[in-house]
């Protein structure tokens, strides 16, 4: 039987601080009614003092324990994130340090915004199937509270912070990842982006030091997240729909074979549109957007962890995970549990 990879354990971590829609209505011109009816979100978690690597390590520790493994068993770490503590070292290296994983194993981050976890899962799957790794720690973590514009009501109400993780291990059983599809389209990057670093080199500062102080104004830029919500909405429904069809086709399954759809938690209306398209019942679709908002790369692994812990995932079930985010990027994975 061919070698596959299988999820051995899941974990998640969320900051303690809850920000409700009513809390936000005191900061920007919005209402609980607008946010919940347009998105399904009622509250989100914010890491006031916490770091990305701390949340990631908490989720990862739980996943390793759930897998029945210990730190020494992990031989690769991949973290999907676009909000690392630092440009470098990577979040994965900080997790390696925090959890006392073996020194010398490969550890790196992967940037695919909200699709980051499924991209990382696919890379991990390839490492396992090519026998380059046996037990891989795959993490999705983002702290969008650090990059949204808290004065922009059209974006700040949508996001929250969190982390989710799985341990992926080699298996020869029938269960495991059956298919995985990754996509991107850089032509549409301006629909959703976070500039963060200024588009200039500090070398310019050296050159301009002799110039007058008014030139220093040129170096300021707005570094917060930008999104054209309407266009992203339509593309998300279309792209995730076709990604699901392609992954199911490769796994030789039909929509009626799906036990549980775990979609990226960006907007309940997007999730409902996918549910209708695939003709799934409420019981076949997982949603926790109400509690956490859009946690970017963390949204799918947090949802998966909750689905597993609440008993909604049973041995032999076919799960489909599907994501969409900045890049643009989108991805889908079919798993037999
Ligand atoms: N409170 C009150 N009113 C608001 C708010 C708010 N928080 N935000 C916007 N509005 C207003 C707008 O100003 C607009 O007013 P106007 O008609 O007077 O101009 C009106 O509400 C309608 O705004 P729309 O943007 O058309 O609202 P829409 O129904 O499209 O919902 C939303 C916006 C929720 C952002 C939706 O478009 C969406 O969910 N888009 C997809 C987001 C997504 O999928 N992201 C995934 C990837 S995320 C990642 O990769 C990081």
CA distance 205 to 216: 8
Residue 194 in any domain: the answer is: no
Q: Please compute the mean of the pLDDT values over residues 242-258 and round it to a whole number.
A: 96
> H helices within the chain, ranges in order?
21-25, 32-39, 52-66, 91-99, 116-129, 153-156, 203-208, 229-250, 268-278, 289-292, 299-309
Catalytic annotation on 318?
Answer: no
Q: Please compute the mean of the pLDDT values over residues 268-288 and round it to a whole number.
A: 94
What total number of domains does the chain contain?
Answer: 2
Does 155 lie in the same domain as 16? yes
Q: Note the pLDDT tens digit of each residue in 9-44.
A: 999 999 999 999 999 999 999 999 999 999 999 999
Q: Note the pLDDT tens digit of each residue in 165-182.
A: 999 999 999 899 999 999
CA distance 83 to 16: 19
Q: Where does a domain end: 112, 146, 173?
A: 173
* 245 close to ligand 1 (CB < 6 Angstrom): no
Domain with 320 in it:
177-188+225-336
Q: Is the pLDDT of residue 66 over 70?
A: yes
Does 139 lie in the same domain as 182? no
Does 245 lie in the same domain as 150? no
* 328 close to ligand 1 (CB < 6 Angstrom): no
* 291 close to ligand 1 (CB < 6 Angstrom): no
Q: Could you tell me the two tokens for 317?
A: 């079930």
Residue 205 in any domain: the answer is: no
Does 129 lie in the same domain as 184? no
CA distance 229 to 233: 6
Does 184 lie in the same domain as 153? no
CA of 154 from ligand 1 middle (Å) equals 5
Pocket test of ligand 1: the residue of 24, 232, 273 to mutate, having most ligand atoms within 8 Å of its CB, is: 232
Q: At a CB cut-off of 8 Å and minimum separation 6, what does 68 contact?
A: 8, 9
Residue 215 in any domain: the answer is: no
| Chain CA centroid to CA 291, Å | 16
Does 10 lie in the same domain as 96? yes
Residue 208 DSSP code: H
Residue 240 in any domain: the answer is: yes
Does 238 lie in the same domain as 144? no
Q: Is the pLDDT of residue 63 over 50?
A: yes
Does 184 lie in the same domain as 159? no
Looking at residue 205, what is its pLDDT? 64
Looking at residue 259, what is its pLDDT? 96
Q: Is the pLDDT of residue 211 over 70?
A: no
Of 94-98, 209-213, 252-256, the least confident:
209-213
Catalytic annotation on 264?
Answer: yes
Does 22 lie in the same domain as 129? yes
Looking at residue 2, what is its pLDDT? 86
Residue 97: count other Cβ atoms within 10 Å of its Cβ.
14
Residue 195 in any domain: the answer is: no
Q: Note the pLDDT tens digit of each residue in 70-90.
A: 999 999 999 999 999 999 999
Return mean pLDDT, the chain.
Answer: 93
Looking at residue 176, what is its pLDDT? 97
Is the pTM here over 0.75, yes or no?
yes
Residue 229 in any domain: the answer is: yes
Pocket test of ligand 1: the residue of 160, 228, 229 to mutate, having most ligand atoms within 8 Å of its CB, is: 229
Does 235 lie in the same domain as 91? no
Residue 81 in any domain: the answer is: yes
Q: Note the pLDDT tens digit of each residue in 183-195.
A: 999 999 999 999 8
Residue 100 in any domain: the answer is: yes
Does 167 lie in the same domain as 18? yes
Does 9 lie in the same domain as 158? yes
* 326 close to ligand 1 (CB < 6 Angstrom): yes
CATH of the domain at 329: 3.40.47.10
């Amino acid at each position: 039987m061919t070698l596959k990879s299988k999820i051995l354990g899941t974990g998640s971590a969320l900051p303690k601080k809850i920000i409700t829609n009513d809390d936000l209505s005191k900061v920007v011109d919005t209402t609980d009614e607008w946010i919940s009816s347009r998105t399904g979100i009622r509250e989100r978690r914010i890491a006031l003092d916490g770091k990305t690597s701390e949340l990631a390590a908490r989720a990862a520790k739980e996943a390793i324990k759930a897998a029945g493994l210990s730190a020494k068993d992990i031989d690769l770490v991949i973290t999907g994130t676009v909000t690392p503590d630092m440009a470098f070292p990577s979040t994965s290296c900080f997790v390696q340090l925090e959890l006392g994983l073996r020194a010398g194993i490969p550890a790196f981050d992967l940037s695919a915004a909200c699709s980051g976890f499924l991209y990382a899962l696919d890379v991990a799957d390839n490492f396992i199937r090519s026998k380059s790794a046996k037990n891989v720690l795959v993490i999705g973590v983002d702290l969008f509270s650090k990059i949204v514009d808290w004065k922009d009501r059209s974006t700040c109400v949508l996001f929250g912070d969190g982390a989710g993780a799985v341990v992926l291990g080699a298996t020869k059983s029938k269960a495991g990842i059956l298919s995985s599809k990754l996509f991107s389209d850089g032509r549409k990057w301006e629909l959703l982006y976070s500039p963060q670093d200024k588009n200039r080199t500090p070398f310019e500062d050296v050159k301009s030091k002799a110039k007058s102080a008014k030139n220093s104004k040129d170096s300021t830029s707005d570094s917060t997240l930008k999104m054209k919500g309407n266009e992203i909405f339509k593309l998300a429904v279309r792209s995730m729909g076709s990604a699901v069809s392609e992954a199911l086709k490769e796994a030789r399954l039909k929509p009626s074979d799906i036990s549980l759809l775990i979609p990226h938690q960006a907007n309940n209306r997007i999730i409902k549109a996918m549910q209708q398209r695939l003709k799934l019942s409420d019981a076949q679709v997982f949603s926790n957007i109400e509690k956490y908002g859009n946690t970017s790369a963390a949204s799918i692994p947090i949802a998966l962890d909750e689905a597993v812990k609440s008993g909604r995932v049973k041995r032999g079930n076919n799960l489909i995970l599907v994501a969409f985010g900045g890049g643009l990027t989108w991805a889908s994975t079919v798993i037999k549990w």
